Amino acid sequence: MTDSSAPLGQCPSCDREIPAAWKIIEYDHGDGNTGVFAECPDCDAVVKPR
């Protein structure tokens, strides 16, 4: 099984589910967690999915 196509999360502005394909970059928090920035299809802006 793979979850590579799982949604990244929801847009903090409009609550839209953001597909994995909209991911822009991943970054390392430095504490073992990985954050991600993505473009929201609705807001047409870079957001941090939650």
Tell me: does residue 46 bind Zn ion (CB under 5 A): no
**Binding Zn ion by CB under 5 A: which of 8, 38, 40, 49?**
40
Query: Can you point out the beta strands (E) in the chain?
Result: 9-10, 17-18, 23-28, 34-40, 45-47
Q: Does 14 bind Zn ion (CB under 5 A)?
A: yes
> Are 19 and 35 in contact, with CB atoms under 8 Å apart?
no
Q: Does 24 bind Zn ion (CB under 5 A)?
A: no
Size of the site for Zn ion (CB under 5 A): 7
Local structure of residue 19 (DSSP, 8 states)? P
Residues making contact with Zn ion (CB under 5 A): 11, 13-14, 16, 40, 42-43
